[in-house]
Structure 1
């Protein structure tokens, strides 16, 4: 059983190694460096948690290949499913999407990657983890504690910045939803004005042309005001959509499908409001 000191140090080591794997994978696919981490620093917490869970749960069966493999498949798949589901609930978009893979569930998990995680965890338990534990035990305790304080401080600051970015995006999404509702209300108001104008003209054909002209003039003024307000709201909507903070730029580079899903979602709301 790992001590708390060993567990936390292993978490950071595997989070950093996981980030390296993600960067290599993204570089091979895109031909350029992309920081694929959820956070800004060089670590992916899901890898740290994932390997730590496997180590804590499956160390008793690490000598048996089949239980180790299938146990790893189950644990990593459940972690990926829960993490993907929670991230979608927060951001209303998939951070990764396996929808085009065979035997997938909701785009969160798929058989191919579950098997790959199982193979990777077997290699970690048989090859990587013994080396990592050797490094942990080799480090002087004072140096290990110093590294933990440095990693923990950087991680906490990074997490705070990321949470602030998340809250900013969620705030923008609420503003855009409100704008979409207001545009929808304006659309209804324009339609009601036009309808009232037509019905009024039909009901008052016996009245003077001057009165009808005055009504059309008043209706035109109201419509112009509504159109001007709609234009202002649309400009505000587009400004938010095109916002480029450091965090949003990095997220769009790291997870291009996330930005695309959010843009399509917002555009659809805008189309429905027109």
Structure 2
């Protein structure tokens, strides 16, 4: 009986690595890299008039996949459930402008960062709001699940309402249903400039919010992490990253 148990235990130990095989192995077998984002965050990821998901994150993620010898497959999903979707295996990576935080690193790993950002407060041009303290008593729009939403929640006397993405907040502030909105500053700055919107930015300094944006993958995947990082590094070295960034953002944001 003991010998049978010992052989069974040995067989289990020898087989254990296959139970925790690298995601990269399965990804290579499938021939595709499933890349998730909200699709609600122009110019990083959004649906165009041809019903295609396009933007900075789309091109960065697609280029990484191609350099890994894989076919990119873009998946759009609600931002507040995107980490749960990654952990459930619905996609392989999140290239969706996700801020690297200690809290998130408890459940997922990050590659990068691939750019830096920070929160901005956006208000109508005619607004009396001049600094973060002026948000007291105001109704502020935030995107559910963003680090900037957590920052707003710490502000005294500020009421918040949540949205799925930037397009909704732009509509709401234009309709005067919110007094301001707070999100990572790059996307709104680009939207205001390109669309000549009657909005302005209130700068947030010493916010204490992490500003490194990374590519999220499931934990315990060093080979996948290394492969994505190499593709990203090569893009930055040969000018491809800068070209994509200038196309969508107007500058190199790394």
Q: Give the greater-gyration-radius structure (CA).
A: 1
TM-score by length of 1: 0.26
Structure with the largest fraction of helix: 1
Structure with the largest fraction of strand: 2
If asked which structure has higher relative contact order (CA below 8 Å, sep 6+), I would say: 2
